[in-house]
Structure 1
Amino acid sequence: MLGLWHLTETPAELWPALPQPEAYRALLPATADAARQAQWLAGRVLIHVLAEDASYAPHSLVVQNESSGRPWLAGAAEGVTVSLSHSGAWVAAVLAHGGRAGVDVEMIRDKAQRLASKFLAPDEWAHAQAVTLAAPAGSSAHYTLLWSAKEALYKLAAQRGIIFKQQLLLHSFAPHESGEIPATLVLSGVQTRHCICYSRPAPGYVLTYCHEPAAQL
């Protein structure tokens, strides 16, 4: 299940929407400013909304984080996976029963294009340059999409120390407003194929997500 939230609320408006607020007050990052607090809270509210829609008891659940930062849902049935992302005014979440999942939402900026050599393999970079040469006005959006796709796959992998340009590999695709990007994940010498879905949730943003059902593990 995929959830999207266009964030306009303040932290004070979001706290009442959370079950077990005292548990979350202990987990809230101490250094987060008001904007970050709102993003953090909205992500957890969104997970609870998805959990309720999936017929889980949301009041018995708490979204916690591993030491790596990866979120997990304490109190949920075995095999439930969650993933969270936020950027600017948008928050995204995925809840999956069985398998692994990753989601990422990004505000379109030129940063990804400037850092392309650090996260794109040579053939990925060559393909991106060909795509943006044909449509230069969309360069920032295309490179942001590539970065976001790798972020979603990285979250699915849920391992530290991954080298984006060597282990998260995107295959050629024809970019549209929405579609799918074929990808390969390389972990411990084993290659697995994945499909990363993408779209534009709003002007100036890209959204990517992927899910690997348990049967494919």
Structure 2
Amino acid sequence: MNEVMLQLEHVDTFYGPIQVLHDINLEVRRGEIVCLLGANAAGKTTTMKTIFGLVRPRRGRIIFDGQRIDNRPASDIVRLGLALVPEARRIFPRMTVLENLQMGAYTRTNKAEIEQDLDHVCQIFPRIKERLKQIAGTLSGGEQQMLAMARALMSRPRMMCMDEPSMGLSPLLVETVFETIVRIRSEGVTIFLVEQNASMALSLADRGYVLQTGKIVLSDTAANLLENDLVRQAYLGGS
């Protein structure tokens, strides 16, 4: 199988005295889509924050493409080729769409390559291309999600981590977002996806992990998780 790009080994994360993540072990291999499923407050967003250095693990290691990153600032992690599409999109609402995209390339210096990537993300997201001069805060929820994904791509990542990309979107827009995720993977970007919409996430993922109260309780292929009784009852509405 492809080599491991991202690995969490025995990661414990705390907020003050409260332990949120307990002995997390997971890996994402090059070229995969891997999803992390869990209910609200399971620890999914904390997992993302820990990967990106926004919260430091108290124990364990995080390795990206052979380099340990659990002791590095977020800007270094982005430069290494890891990009985050944060929960609730977190665009810059008072800046234009174009300025948001340019912020995604803040770690880069080659202007010709940045322009090339700007053209490319406009091909992937034609709605964004139509709104480059528009103030980002006036976009619809679906357009803001596309902008957040486009902004992450502007860092030219080798791997994208997406935190709840379907949150608050209509079913039609959810389908569009997931189709775009598949396209991004087809262009060589590995995807780690944190998601509550288990059926959509597992329908496109290669493998998945299930997080409950800060612990990984299941890991398997996406196909097997779709058939798993625990997953069906907890996340897919099965009986």
TM-score (normalised: structure 2): 0.27
- Higher relative CO (Cα under 8 Å, sequence separation at least 6) belongs to 2
